[in-house]
Structure 1
Amino acid sequence: MNPLLRAEQAVLGAVLLDPDQLTRLGWLAPEHFYRPVHRALFAAMRTLHTADHPAVSAEGMVPLSWVIDTVAEASRHVRGLTAPYAHSLVTACPRSGHAPLYGRMVLEGAIHRTVTEHAVGLHQAARADALRGDVEEALHQADVLTGVLGDLARRWGTEPHPLAPTTPPAIAVSEPLHLRADEVAEDERFLLAVLTDQSGAMNEVAGWLRPTDFADPAHAQLYRSLGALHHRGEPIDRMTLLWEAQRRGLLANGTLTAEQLAGICDGVGAGSAEWLGERIMRSSLTRTAAVSAQAIRALAENEALAPGRLIGHALHALGPLDDARTRWQTANGIPAPTPTPPPAPTAGNSPPARVHAALARSTPQPSAQSTQRLGALPAVTAARTSSRTPI
């Protein structure tokens, strides 16, 4: 059986044996369980615990009604759940006092699974925006993914900070995002012609458009050459651009051909550099979102990567998209949002979930010995321990 499913069974069995274990699992949520029946059972336990089920305050033996009522509550949301399955969860739990560690295993699997799902969603949104010539859905999905990473980091017990991987993730070969490629290439050629032909046109885009925003590497190198002329304050025209391209070896190394350069320099130079630059920026943003999504998915599918490092690497992979968004907002005159500081802890309140998670993983919790568990399972419980024993 999958180790993650065994961990889900173990944490549920621990709470069936000892409802008080829920107080040590406040950072674990029903949606962190993979199987729907397990999500329903954990949600039912939390509901009964919040409603002060008699088992919560029972001294010594845990009443059998705790198991019966848990199954009844969960059965309202899933089908096929039976009492024998609940008993099998009890037998799957080696030690009820180890519930936080079992919960950590469940949370670790949920983090990898959740990050993968949202990375797929970001990639799909980027493809849809590329087809529409839009960016809104990709930016929204990126915000959702950032928020999810922050929540998962706090539950795991770490701070959500970008962390560069020592080696780039091995991205699986997938379909490249070359939607509307002919239209994008035409926009790039048109913009380069405008920047070459119109005096001062570079002033309209130099502050936010970068060579990496061009899909065609040759176009990117030409824009870099134009940027160098602009930075040095030298005049820009067909001759100076040709000279700068030759100085950079673009013709000698095959990056550009004389025909390509002539086609751009002799093209129609009438148009708005700012408008064309915004179109190129849109396509660049969706490509960047797709690349970031693929990198994050590759990270999440690496089961050997610890959750804390996965979250940090995923936030780092979103960095290029954040930079593209900032430049997109500059191009459109959109003010950057003011970052909202995290709420300060209030004196007297319980520690945040991050502290609970960290303590649950690092502080040993001894469990009391018992001699009997559920009355229906005497043969399999003699070698196990529990802090509280149901009857």
Structure 2
Amino acid sequence: MNPLLSAEQAVLGAVLLDPDQLAHLDWLAPDHFYRPVHQALFGALRKLRSDGHPALSADGPLPLSWVTDAVDEAGQHVRGMTAVYAHTLIQLCPRTEHAPAYGRMVLEGAIHRTIAQHAIRLHQMARADAVQGRVAGALHTADVLTGVLTDLARRWGTDPRPVPPPTAPAAAADAPPPAMPDQVAEDEQFLLAVLTEQPGTMDEVVSWLRPGDFADPAHGQLYRCLGALHHRGEPIDRITLLWEAQRRGLLADGTVASEQINAICDGMAPGSADWFGHRVIRSSLTRTAAASARTIQALAENETLSPGRLINHALHALDPLNEVRTRWATANGNPAPKPTTPTPSAGEPPPARVKAARARSTRRPATSPSAPASPVRAPAAARPPSLRHP
């Protein structure tokens, strides 16, 4: 038995039996259900309630029209919705008063599913941008994902904030490094050659380009050597670069070879360090976006993660992309973008968060067995969970 399917059926059965349960499910939306027929039925039930269906004010047993009208309304939007299935949902609901708990299960499944879907879109857009030589699509999709995470956190009743997971997701850690296109490798080699033969051009890129932006780790280490020489104010040429690489142990451990350094310098072609640097960091941005997307997808597929932890771990996985994005804006002479990562709310929590949290756990009144009995007014008679024909 699928727990998520059972939860969807139970919450619908509870509302079909007791429409008053909808008042405790304002935070649950039709698109949080996985099955289209369940989405349509929950949307129909909410519509009947907002339209003031006569069954809501009926005295005595719940009229059967509540079920039949809900089925008819849902049938206008999806196929396969029948009165027989509606009565099956009623039978599958253990307790109508547990509807908020069933709804939280549905929302939890929707959070995992929604985050996984948006992570897949980010990965696809990053790959498309990498091929087309642009970054706008990946950045927009990342903004959408951040907004979705913030909205889901509000619905779940938690503060959205980046929190690193205790261990890296297995799928992300085991994912092979993306294949480095020949054009990316050439851009990196040309940039290193220009920086070596024209040391003054280091000032054009050193403020926003980092060794981690290079797809080839060896190229990143050579750029680190050039940056160290530039920082110390020492001369830069192929000999000093080779010497710095040796001092850092890059030749001894096989990270680079002297022949590789000579080949890069011999392949020097007229060009702009700023232009090649832009191409390197653009490739780094799309590559980082794809890596963040893979990490978030792996987190979303981990069913043991609670929604709050999943949301905060996903926000943390976007931090590397936000860092590269800030340097990309600097490289293009634009002001640093406003941080898209939401910050925890200060002071009193917002009403939506309180309502969502209360829906997860309802405080039970404490009773004292030694306290004397006091006369209390009997509560209003609850509508019995039964149906009758009008």
TM-score normalised over the length of structure 2? 0.90
1:248 equivalent in structure 2: 248
User: Residue 279 of structure 1 aligns to which amino acid in structure 2?
Assistant: R
Matched, 1:373 2:390: no
User: Cα deviation per residue 1:249-299 (whole Å; 9 max; x = unaligned)?
Assistant: 111110011110111123315311111000001111111011111111111
* 1:220-369 mapped onto 2 (5 Å cutoff): 220-268=220-268, 270-338=270-338, 352-364=351-363
The answer to whether the Cα contact below 8 Å between 2:225 and 2:244 also exists between their aligned partners in 1 is yes
Q: Quick one: distance in 1 between partners of 2:256 and 2:136?
A: 34
User: Residue 101 of structure 1 aligns to which amino acid in structure 2?
Assistant: A
Q: Which shifted more, 361-370 or 166-175? A: 361-370
Q: Which shifted more, 267-276 or 106-115? A: 267-276
The answer to whether the Cα contact below 8 Å between 1:198 and 1:269 also exists between their aligned partners in 2 is no
Q: Quick one: distance in 2 between partners of 1:30 and 1:206?
A: 51
1:136 equivalent in structure 2: 136
Q: Quick one: distance in 2 between partners of 1:213 and 1:140?
A: 21
The answer to whether the Cα contact below 8 Å between 1:26 and 1:356 also exists between their aligned partners in 2 is no
Matched, 1:188 2:201: no
Give, in angstroms, the shift of residue 55 of structure 1.
2.2
User: Cα deviation per residue 1:227-258 (whole Å; 9 max; x = unaligned)?
Assistant: 11112222222222111111001111100111
User: Residue 256 of structure 1 aligns to which amino acid in structure 2?
Assistant: V
User: Residue 177 of structure 1 aligns to which amino acid in structure 2?
Assistant: P
Give, in angstroms, the shift of residue 374 of structure 1.
2.7
2:374 equivalent in structure 1: none
2:201 equivalent in structure 1: 201
Q: Give the SS at the match of 2:171.
A: coil
Give, in angstroms, the shift of residue 176 of structure 1.
4.7
The answer to whether the Cα contact below 8 Å between 2:18 and 2:383 also exists between their aligned partners in 1 is no
Q: Which shifted more, 232-241 or 301-310? A: 232-241
User: Residue 268 of structure 1 aligns to which amino acid in structure 2?
Assistant: M
1:64 equivalent in structure 2: 64
Q: Quick one: distance in 1 between partners of 2:234 and 2:258?
A: 23
1:211 equivalent in structure 2: 211
1:178 equivalent in structure 2: 179
Give, in angstroms, the shift of residue 129 of structure 1.
0.9
Q: Give the SS at the match of 2:236.
A: coil
Q: Quick one: distance in 2 between partners of 1:176 and 1:46?
A: 48
Q: Quick one: distance in 1 between partners of 2:4 and 2:364?
A: 22
Segments of 5+ residues of structure 1 without an aligned counterpart are 377-390
Residues 176 and 243 of structure 1, relative CA distance in 2, 3 Å threshold: closer
Q: Which shifted more, 330-339 or 97-106? A: 330-339
Residues 218 and 132 of structure 1, relative CA distance in 2, 3 Å threshold: same
2:375 equivalent in structure 1: none
User: Residue 27 of structure 1 aligns to which amino acid in structure 2?
Assistant: W
User: Residue 282 of structure 2 aligns to which amino acid in structure 1?
Assistant: R
Q: Quick one: distance in 2 between partners of 1:39 and 1:364?
A: 30
Segments of 5+ residues of structure 2 without an aligned counterpart are 366-378
Q: Quick one: distance in 1 between partners of 2:300 and 2:313?
A: 10
1:8 equivalent in structure 2: 8
Give, in angstroms, the shift of residue 31 of structure 1.
0.5
User: Residue 245 of structure 2 aligns to which amino acid in structure 1?
Assistant: A
User: Residue 360 of structure 1 aligns to which amino acid in structure 2?
Assistant: A
Q: Quick one: distance in 2 between partners of 1:221 and 1:10?
A: 58
Instruction: Give the fraction of aligned pairs with identical amino acids, expressed as a percent.
Output: 69
User: Cα deviation per residue 1:354-375 (whole Å; 9 max; x = unaligned)?
Assistant: 2211011121479987765235
User: Cα deviation per residue 1:136-179 (whole Å; 9 max; x = unaligned)?
Assistant: 11111111111111111110111110010111110165575326
1:99 equivalent in structure 2: 99
User: Cα deviation per residue 1:35-81 (whole Å; 9 max; x = unaligned)?
Assistant: 00000001011111111112223344322111111111100001121
Q: Give the SS at the match of 2:334.
A: coil
1:42 equivalent in structure 2: 42
Number of residue pairs matched by the alignment: 372
User: Residue 138 of structure 1 aligns to which amino acid in structure 2?
Assistant: A
Give, in angstroms, the shift of residue 93 of structure 1.
1.0
Q: Give the SS at the match of 1:171.
A: helix
Q: Quick one: distance in 2 between partners of 1:243 and 1:150?
A: 50
Residues 122 and 338 of structure 1, relative CA distance in 2, 3 Å threshold: closer
Q: Superposition RMSD on alpha carbons, in Å?
A: 2.4
User: Cα deviation per residue 1:332-382 (whole Å; 9 max; x = unaligned)?
Assistant: 11223446999x99x9xxx64322110111214799877652359xxxxxx
Q: Quick one: distance in 1 between partners of 2:384 and 2:21?
A: 19
The answer to whether the Cα contact below 8 Å between 1:188 and 1:219 also exists between their aligned partners in 2 is yes
2:108 equivalent in structure 1: 108
TM-score normalised over the length of structure 1? 0.90
Q: Quick one: distance in 1 between partners of 2:295 and 2:258?
A: 36
Q: Give the SS at the match of 1:201.
A: helix
The answer to whether the Cα contact below 8 Å between 2:194 and 2:273 also exists between their aligned partners in 1 is yes
Q: Quick one: distance in 1 between partners of 2:175 and 2:251?
A: 32
